[in-house]
Structure 1
C-alpha cells in the first residue's frame, strides 16, 4: 500500500466515523421519542476502503400495517365500552339499584301487600311512592340516554375536526417524502412524522395504506373509501345539539360516502368515529326502545275501563301526542321520558292514594264510598297483571313475549351481556395491540446499549485511523530526512 493510499484510507475512515457518530448521537437523543425510528449509517466498499452511502431508517411495513389495524380496533372497542359503562352507571352500577326493574319489583311486592290490607292508607301511600320511583327511574334513565347520545354526537364532531387537521398535516409530510425521495435527499424525519400521523388517524378511523411511486402513500378507510390520495379528501359532519328519542343524528361523510357504524359487543368498529356512531344510533336507541316499551306496558297494566272507554290510570302520559290505544305492539318513542304518576293519587298534589283501590275515574269497588271498606278486586287485578305475559316490540332486541318484570330484567341482562362481550373483546384487542407495538418497537426503537456499544467501536476505529495517520507521518518524515 502506498503512503497516499494509506492516507486516503485514513481520511475515509475519519469521515465514516464522523457520520456514524452523528447518526448514533441522534439515535441516543431520540431514545425516548416513540415516533422516532432508529437510523443506521450504511457502508459500502469504495476505492479507499469503505464509505457511508446512506442513512437507513429501521422499518417493517407489515408490522406497521398490523399496528395501525390494532390501534383502530382497540380504539373503537374502548370507545364503545366507555359508552356501555356510562349506560350501566345510569342504572346504579354493579347492583343496578337504580334500574326500573328494581323499582318495578318493589312496586309489585307492596301492591300485593296493599291488596291484602286494602283499608291501610299508609300502604296506599307506599304504593303510590313506589310508582313515582318507577316513573322517575324511567324518566331519568331516558334523559341520561339522550344526553349520552348528545355527548357522542359532540365527540364525533370533535373527531371529524381533528381528522381533517391530521389529513392536512399528513399531506405536508407526504409531499416532503415524495419530493425528497424523487430528489434523492434524506426523508427519514418526514417519514417519522408521517408514520406518527398515521397512528393518530387510525385511532379515529380505520386506515389501509397503499405505497406508490417515490414512497407516496395513499390512504383508504377499512371499507374502501378514499381518505387521502395525493390530496386529503373532505370529511364532513353536521352536529346535532339536542337529542330526544325521536331525533336521528346526521351521518359522517368521507368524500361523500357515509361512515358505517360498528355492530355488536365485540364491535366491528375501527376507530372512534364508527364506535361513537354505534352508541348514538344503535346501542342507546335500542335501550331507549326497551324503556319506552316498559312505559307502554305499565300504562296498559294500570289503565281503567270507563263508560267512555279505556283511559290511563295510575300511570299517565304527560302531553305526549300518541294514539289513544297503547295496546298495539309498537314502540312509542320517548314514552319513558314523559310517563308520570296520575296526580289524582298523589296526596301532596291534592290527590287521594285510596283511589288506586277504588278507581280513579269511576268507583268500581266501593260504590257507597265507605272509607272503611276493604274491597281489593282492582288491586288484585293490578297485582295479577305483573304475572300476565304481554307482547313487546322486536325493536327492543329482547324477548318479545313475557311479563313486565321479565322484560325489565331482560333489559338489564341485555346491557350486561353486550357490556361483558365488549369488556372481553377490549382486553383481547388491547393485548394484541400491546404485542404488535412491542414487536414494532423491537424493530424500530432505539436501544441505548446498542448505541453506546457502537460508539465504543467507533472510538476504536478513530484510534486506529489516528495511528495510521501517525505512522504515515513518521514514514514521510523519515523519507524526507533520507532525501536530505
Structure 2
C-alpha cells in the first residue's frame, strides 16, 4: 500500500467520523423529541481497482420496525376510541346516578309509589295529596334532566367527532405535502430521515383519531388507508382537501360511505368512540328513557275512568301519542295542581270521593305493580314500572363501567407497545455516549495515520535533496 493510499484511507476515515460525530450529536439533542427515531451512518469499504481506499459513507439509516409501529398505532387507536366513548358515557352517567341515588329516575319512581302508599292510609289528608303531586313533579324533572343530559352528551360527541374529522384531514394534507418532498429528495439522493420522522408523527396523530394501515412506495411516498382498506391518502392532496367527511350520521371517504363499526371500515380511533356515543349509546339511552316515560303515561292513563283521556302523567299535556322523545316532554297533568284531591279521586273526577275511599288510590298503586310490555334495547321485555326503572339505571351504568374496564385494558396494551417502540427506535443517551468514545478513538487513529504518513513523506523529501 502506497503512502497516497494510506493518506486517502485516513482522510476518508476522518470524514466518516466527522459525519458520525455530527449524527450522534443530532441523536442526543433529540433524545426527548417525541417521535424522533435514532439515526445511524451506513458505512462500507471503499474499493478502487480491487484495492481498499478506506471507508465510504453510503447514507443515513433510519431503521424502524414497521410491524411494531403498526401494532403500536393500532393499540393506541383502540385505546383512544375507548377513551372517547368512556368519557362520553361517564358524563351522562354522572347525571343518571346509581339506582339507589336520590337523583336517579328509579329512586323517583319508588318515592312516587311510596307517596301513594302513604296517601292510601290517609286519603283525605291534603298534605299527603300534595306530597303525591310533588313526587310526580320530581319524577318528571328527573326524566327531563336525564334525557337532557343524554341529548347534551350526544351533541358534544357530534361536535368532537367533527373536530376529529377536521384534524385527520389537516394531518393528511400535511402528510401529502411531505410525501411530495420526500419523493423529490429521494430521487436526488438526499437524506429524508428527519422528514420521515415528521411524517410518522403526523401518522401517529391520525391513528389516534381513526384506525389506519399504511404502506410505503419505492419513491418514499406513503399510502394511508382505513384498517379495512378504504383509501384516505394516495400521493399529495390539494390544500384544503377533505379526504374524510362527516355527512349527517355517515362518514365519507372518496365519495363512499365508510362504516363506523369495529368489524368494518373504521375499527378504532376517537372517531369511532365519538360516533358510537353519538349514534349508538345516547340514542339507546334516550330510547330506554322514552319507554319508561311511555309506561308512566300509559299506566296512569289506564288507571282512569276513561283510559283514552289524559291521566296523572301526560304527553305534553295530552293523552299518550308517541313514545319518541317522550322523556323530554312528559308532564304532570295540570288538573292535579289546582285540585290535589284528584290524586285520591281520579284526575278525571268532577268531585272528591268520600273520605277513606281508597278505590282510585288502589288503581294508581296497581299501575306500579302491574307487569307491562316494554320495547327497549337491553332491558326486560316485561316488567313493572319500578323494576324497569331500576334495570334502566343499572344497565346504563353498566355500559359505563364496562367501557372504563375496557379502557384500562386498552391503556396497558397501548403503553406496553409504545414503550417497546421507543426502546427499539428511540435514542438511548448512554449508548450514544459510548459511540462518541469509539468515534473519538477512530478519529484519533486516522489523524495519527496522517501524521505518520506526513513524517514519512518529509523523510523521503529530505533523502531526495
Q: Shared fold (TM-score greater than 0.5)?
A: yes
- Paired with 2:103 and 2:361, the residues of 1 have a C-alpha distance of 25
Q: What is the aligned partner in structure 1 of residue 172 from structure 2? A: 167
- Paired with 2:63 and 2:332, the residues of 1 have a C-alpha distance of 69
- Paired with 2:221 and 2:22, the residues of 1 have a C-alpha distance of 28
- Paired with 2:181 and 2:364, the residues of 1 have a C-alpha distance of 75
Q: Does 1:312 align with 2:293?
A: no
Shift of 1:59: 0.6
Shift of 1:102: 1.1
Q: What is the aligned partner in structure 2 of residue 234 from structure 1? A: 243
Aligned Cα root-mean-square deviation (Å)? 2.2
Pick aligned residue for 1:383 from 343, 357, 365: 365
Q: Render the CA deviation track for 1:225-273: whole Å, top value 9, x for unaligned.
A: 21112244632225xxxxxxxxxx4322111222323469xxx841111
Q: What is the aligned partner in structure 2 of residue 41 from structure 1? A: 41
Pick aligned residue for 1:107 from 85, 93, 112: 112
Shift of 1:274: 1.9
Q: Which segments of 5 or more consecutive residues in structure 1 lack a partner in the other structure?
A: 239-248
Question: Structure 1's 53 and 269: CA in aligned 2 closer, same or farther, altered over 3 A?
Answer: closer
Pick aligned residue for 1:139 from 120, 140, 144: 144
- Paired with 2:306 and 2:406, the residues of 1 have a C-alpha distance of 55
Shift of 1:365: 6.6
- Paired with 1:293 and 1:107, the residues of 2 have a C-alpha distance of 18
Q: Which runs of 4+ in 1 moved over 3 A?
A: 92-97, 304-309
- Paired with 2:170 and 2:223, the residues of 1 have a C-alpha distance of 17
1:241-320 alignment to 2 at 5 Å?
249-262=248-261, 269-303=267-301, 310-318=308-316
- Paired with 2:165 and 2:343, the residues of 1 have a C-alpha distance of 53
Question: Structure 1's 263 and 283: CA in aligned 2 closer, same or farther, altered over 3 A?
Answer: farther
1:312-351 alignment to 2 at 5 Å?
312-318=310-316, 332-346=323-337, 351=338
Question: Structure 1's 35 and 206: CA in aligned 2 closer, same or farther, altered over 3 A?
Answer: same
Task: Give the 3-state SS of the residue equivalent to 2:405 in structure 1.
Answer: helix
Question: Structure 1's 206 and 306: CA in aligned 2 closer, same or farther, altered over 3 A?
Answer: closer
Q: What is the aligned partner in structure 2 of residue 408 from structure 1? A: 389
Shift of 1:415: 1.4
TM-score normalised by L of structure 1 = 0.89
1:90-105 alignment to 2 at 5 Å?
90-92=95-97, 96-105=101-110
Q: What is the aligned partner in structure 1 of residue 49 from structure 2? A: none
Q: What is the aligned partner in structure 2 of residue 245 from structure 1? A: none
Q: Which moved more, 1:286-295 or 1:176-185?
A: 176-185
Shift of 1:107: 1.1
Q: Does 1:429 align with 2:410?
A: yes
Q: What is the aligned partner in structure 2 of residue 241 from structure 1? A: none
- Paired with 2:453 and 2:408, the residues of 1 have a C-alpha distance of 66
Q: Does 1:357 align with 2:344?
A: yes
Question: Contact 1:107/1:131 (CA < 8 Å) preserved in 2?
Answer: yes
Shift of 1:143: 1.4
Shift of 1:97: 3.2
Question: Structure 1's 308 and 420: CA in aligned 2 closer, same or farther, altered over 3 A?
Answer: closer
Question: Contact 2:99/2:393 (CA < 8 Å) preserved in 1?
Answer: no
Question: Contact 1:40/1:56 (CA < 8 Å) preserved in 2?
Answer: yes
Question: Contact 1:118/1:375 (CA < 8 Å) preserved in 2?
Answer: yes
Q: Render the CA deviation track for 1:131-157: whole Å, top value 9, x for unaligned.
A: 111000001111121111111111122
Shift of 1:481: 2.6
- Paired with 1:105 and 1:124, the residues of 2 have a C-alpha distance of 16
Q: Does 1:397 align with 2:378?
A: yes
- Paired with 2:27 and 2:125, the residues of 1 have a C-alpha distance of 83
- Paired with 1:470 and 1:397, the residues of 2 have a C-alpha distance of 85
Q: What is the aligned partner in structure 1 of residue 93 from structure 2? A: 88
Q: Does 1:451 align with 2:445?
A: no
Q: Render the CA deviation track for 1:182-201: whole Å, top value 9, x for unaligned.
A: 33221111211111111111
Q: Which segments of 5 or more consecutive residues in structure 2 lack a partner in the other structure?
A: 47-51
TM-score normalised by L of structure 2 = 0.92
- Paired with 2:307 and 2:97, the residues of 1 have a C-alpha distance of 39
Aligned residues: 454
Task: Give the 3-state SS of the residue equivalent to 2:45 in structure 1.
Answer: strand
Q: What is the aligned partner in structure 1 of residue 4 from structure 2? A: 4
- Paired with 2:113 and 2:303, the residues of 1 have a C-alpha distance of 21
Question: Contact 2:96/2:103 (CA < 8 Å) preserved in 1?
Answer: yes
